[in-house]
Structure 1
Amino acid sequence: MRGAQTIARLADWAAQEYGDAEALVDGAERWTFEELRDRVAEAARAVLAHGLRPGERVAVWAPNSARWAVAALGAVAAGGVLVPVNTRYRAAEAADLLRRSEARLLFTEHDFLGTDYRALLAESGEQLPLLERTVALHTADWADFLKGAARVTEAERLSRSAAVLPGDTADILFTSGTTGRPKGVPTTHEQTLTVYDAWARAVTLRRGDRYLLVNPFFHTFGYKAGIVACLLRGATIVPERVFDPEAALARIEEERISVLTGAPTVFTSLIEHPARASYDLSSMRMAGTGAANIPTELIHRIREFIGARNIYTAYGLTESTGVVSICEPHESPETLARTSGTALAGTELRIDAPPGEPGEILTRGPHVMHGYLDDPEATAQAVDADGWLHTGDVGVLDERGFLRITDRLKDMLVVGGFNVYPAEVEQVLRGHPAVADAAVVGAPDARLGEVGVAYCVPSAGARIDAAELAAWTRQRLANFKAPRAFHSLARLPHNAAGKVDKSVLRLRAKTG
């Protein structure tokens, strides 16, 4: 990895490397790399003034914005460990992450899509004994917090940043597992910088690119393949708080955007927007997407209607620092659509099955996590003694080493680009007094790719009310996790081993 050795020094290094080039654009805010460095340094001094010690955790629960980037990078520059929190989480979900990560400081938002996250936590009654301060990024709170920077010298800040080592933990991202309980994945500075230096090279991200970041910053592909990769390559960060097709088309034209990544539904919604032809998209150069199955026609349509000649597809998971394989832009549309490419440079990829047959996807290398947060049992199940990460996904490798994903061992759904694990949703459904048992599977959806469908066994004397269960799940889970349909069954189908036979339910959901 060239340049910066830690994310704690990344903004400093980028300022030296790219100087007065434009680093970030967010509404009226337009900062050069030098100006971004200064704002990150100020935030880091404020975090130090708060009393944060090396290795302590700082959470960010807010939508994409310039201040998200400054708060997050500032916390890491102060020697802290970043804990991004999904903006769609409810109070109980967020509080669980804050408790388990032992976050001392929380940056959040007072009004995002009508939600005041700080008030949400306060009103929930959730106990957070270690959380010392909550700062709302777009209120007077932020200015008050930054006043503390005056009490810390830049020399002290530089000393703290320099003391961070490549092998230190940089962040903890949470990912759900088959048990339904989110698991924390600590990642080191060296892992992130090594992986996204290789990623940027493979996908052709380069100096001068202007990157519209619709991927949420709480996700690996928003923060690491977005903010971190842009700083590494000298590309301009253009945050998008909420993806709206027409607003995105306007930003592409106004800001001369050259790079856009997202789920297939992002590109489909842009292509099919009735006003698309009225916008100038000639600046578009590169697009990235990924899913188990992408129509070849979508690759052609992205090139024709969005104008991106360089298109890549990829596959990864949080436990692999977000990347396992990349299908590079020079490949054919058929290869891009049907495969997820070859192993990331410097890593290994294999299938736990005879050659040419489907099996579990395994990967090994510096991108693989060192272990889940405070969960050695889950770590031992995920990473074997030889260092192979068992992904839980099923795939096939062709004779060239290109990976084709065929199934998911973990039953995971991908709803509009967000991972949903049925076990978590099923637990919530079983908590309703009318539900004796429940199973959740995915069904195809033209807009979101797939959505959850719940099959519920009613308790004695009760009946399944779809509207009531929809409200129940949305009160307790992020919106994307809530099933879109609820069906009543006298009993769930079981296989010979006594386990719920979800293949029967998937077929039923698929055929309506």
Structure 2
Amino acid sequence: MASVFSTPADLPASIPALVMRAAHLHEGRTALEDAGQCVRYDQLPERMLEISRALMAVGINKGDRVALWAANSIDWVLLALGLQAAGAILVPLNTRMKGHEAADIVARSGARLAFVQEHFLGNDYPAMLAAVRPQSLERMVVIGTAPGAGDQTLSAFLEAGSSVTLDQAQARAAAVRSEDLSDLLFTSGTTGKPKGVMYTHGQSLRAFNEYVRIIGLVPGDRYLIVNPFFHSFGYKAGWLTCLLGGATILPLAMFDADEIFQCVAQQRITILPGPPTLYLSMLDHPRLATADLSSLRVAITGASTIPPVLIKRMREELGFELVTTAYGLTECGGLATICDPQDSAQTIASTSGKPIPGTELAILDAQGHGVPPGEQGEICLRGFHVMPGYFNNPEATSESIDAEGWLHTGDVGSLDAQGNLRITGRLKDMFIVGGFNCYPAEIEACLSEHPAIAQVAVLGVADPRMGEVGCACVVLRQGSELNEAELIAWSRERMANYKVPRKVVFYSALPVNASNKVDKLQLSAQLSA
């Protein structure tokens, strides 16, 4: 059985209610596993409510915001579930942030309490936040052995929960409704300060129940989650998906190809989601020929451009039975469209599939009118999974969601004859060469077909004659050779002249952000310098 809940009406009302249901449905199965520590599904409610009781003891009420600044771990999942069961709203913080960036989100979300990891990636997170601590933050609980610059350790915080009874915590959890906010995820902030996306329990459960069904997740699957939990790919398409389907959550704190090979072999991983960079790193790794990847069954990725040859190699060289791609953004909970796993490699590579049930998809021109199949326009979404709005920002909400309920994504794309979404790029990433609009993703898709190219990112750069021209940032496959003149000549035979990159820069690896996606802001800064 791929999905426990066959219709939206069958779904639990909230994430805490899902935990209670899963404890009975999957009793005896392992829910969480990491570094020898295991938590069974039937143990989850007690572990969740232990955290709820401590939060209630210090006065956290329904609707309060609680921040979580930590790397992927068992504690991350338990803390998130515990605060949601207390009726609070989860505010995840990006582990790549500096103190002032984290403090800004803590302040603007009005978080009263923050769970903060002691150390990660050489950073002392409590000290970074303490230096710029907002007055609204009443308590900083440190996930670690010493409070340091925080107020107390997690173990000391949990001890105080004994003043709240289990019955009181259960009653609070049972009172959480489908329409209550479950989380406040802040967008990346590439244009101004990050905006807090409000999202409800019911929206997440309905969308990712569909995800469970489509990818064919079954109880007992072992799901390695490298994608960071502060992002919807690691949180909702990660551990929440596992709870919906009865899979085992195996968190990995950071991307490391050697560790991934080891985890897959030793932990018998069956599902491995990630951005294309994850699979490219595996395919290019010297251990590939000797690694035991026989347990792998399902891969889920997402990006505007994925070479069809990558899908083929993932099946043939990494051994995945099922490979699919999906599209979404934080404002719609992280999932809007997904490919049918039975689609061809070409369809899975070149499109992001069709809308999930309950979702409308339209490609609109600048005047808000629909365009015919094959023509490009802005990708707009409407349905149950569109956010209620941005937190304390009605102006930004009205700019993103129009009067007819369409969410304007800022992404450019088209629909093929079968209704599959093809993403061309971001409106803001478009550059103009001699009066012609150029969309990076479209050019990247073509360049990715070159047999010597492992990965490519295209940006517009200033040019004194043309205003802007395309620059291709290229990583070559191991053992391949290619120079700038050869790639430009190859491109001229395959795309319109204005799309042909005028510059090519070769990299050993492209810079990536915390979600392991290519960081075009950093690339742009490097090229400008």
Q: 2:160 aligns to what?
A: 148
Whether 1:169 aligns to 2:181 is yes
Distance change (3 Å), C-alpha of 1:311 and 1:129: same
- Of 444, 459, 465, 2:473 maps to 444
Which position in structure 2 is the counterpart of 1:350?
362
Instruction: Return the letter of the residue paired with 1:361.
Output: I
User: One-letter code of the match for 1:134?
Assistant: M
Write the letter of the residue equivalent to 1:113.
L
The residue type equivalent to 2:253 in the other structure is: R
Structure 2: which 5+ residue stretches go unaligned? 1-7, 147-152, 365-369, 431-439, 442-458, 460-467, 477-512
Distance (whole Å) between structure 2 residues aligned to residue 168 and residue 62 of structure 1: 24
Residue number in structure 1 paired with 2:401: 383
TM-score by length of 2: 0.79
Q: Cα offset for 1:28?
A: 1.7
Residue 176 (structure 1) shift? 3.4
Does residue 262 (structure 1) correspond to residue 280 (structure 2)? The answer is no
4+ aligned runs moved over 6 Å, structure 1: none
- Indicate the residue corresponding to 2:499 in structure 1: none
Partner of 1:271: 283
Q: Does 1:116 align with 2:145?
A: no
Task: Please give the residue correspondences for 1:400-411 in structure 2 after superposition, counting only pairs within 5 Å.
Answer: 400-411=418-429
CA distance in 2, matches of 1:176, 1:485: 17
Equivalent residue for 1:238? 250
For residues 207 and 487 of structure 1, what CA distance do their matches in structure 2 show? 48
- Please say if residues 116 and 143 of structure 2, whose CA atoms lie closer than 8 Å, have aligned partners that are also in contact: yes
Deviation of residue 443 (structure 1)? 5.3
In structure 1, how many angstroms separate the alpha carbons of the residues matched to 2:121 and 2:524? Answer: 21
Report whether the alignment pairs 1:131 with 2:137: yes
Q: CA shift at 1:388, angstroms?
A: 0.5
CA positional deviation for 1:178? 5.7
Match of 2:56 in 1: 48
SS at match of 1:228: helix
Q: Is residue 108 of structure 2 the alignment partner of residue 100 of structure 1?
A: yes
Give the 5 Å matches for 1:405-444: 405-411=423-429, 444=473
Once the two structures are superposed, what CA deviation does each residue of 1:237-287 show, in whole Å capped at 9, x if it has no partner? 000001100100100111110001111010011111101222211111100
Contact residue 52 and residue 82 of structure 2 kept, 8 A: yes
Q: Which residue identity lines up with residue 411 of structure 2 in the other structure?
A: D
- 1:483 to partner: Cα distance: 4.4
Structure 1 residues 444 and 328: CA distance shift in structure 2, 3 A: farther
Secondary structure, in 3 states, of the residue corresponding to 2:425?
strand
Q: 1:392 matched to which residue of 2?
A: 410
The amino acid across from 1:378 in the alignment is: A
Query: For this pair of structures, how many residues does the alignment match?
Result: 437
2:215 is matched with 203
Q: Deviations over 1:70-93 (max 9, x none)?
A: 111100011100000100011111
Give the secondary-structure state (helix, strand or coil) at the position aligned to 1:351: strand
Q: Deviations over 1:134-174 (max 9, x none)?
A: 11213251111110221111100010011111101110000
What amino acid is aligned across from residue 371 of structure 2 in structure 1? Answer: P
Contact 2:11–2:205, Cα closer than 8 Å, also in 1? no
1:313 aligns with 2:325: yes
TM-score (normalizing by structure 1): 0.81
SS at match of 2:423: strand
Q: Which moved more, 1:267-276 or 1:132-141?
A: 132-141
Is the 1:8–1:79 contact (alpha carbons within 8 Å) kept by the matching residues of 2? Answer: no
Query: Cα gap change, 1:244/1:177 in structure 2, threshold over 3 Å: closer, same or farther?
Result: closer
Distance 1:488 1:105, change over 3 A: closer
CA contact (8 A) 1:26 1:65 kept: yes
Q: Distance in 2 between matches of 1:12 and 1:442?
A: 52
CA separation of 1:26 and 1:195: change in aligned 2, threshold 3 A: same
| Aligned sequence identity (%) | 47
Quote how far apart the aligned CAs of 1:488 are.
Answer: 6.0
Q: Is the 8 A contact 2:275 2:303 kept in 1?
A: yes
RMSD: 2.4
Name 1:326's counterpart in structure 2. Answer: 338
Match of 2:263 in 1: 251
Contact 1:178 1:410 in 2 (8 A): no
Tell me the alpha carbon deviations over residues 350-371 of structure 1, each in whole angstroms, 9 at most, x when there is no partner.
Answer: 1114202100011100010111
Offset, 1:37: 2.4
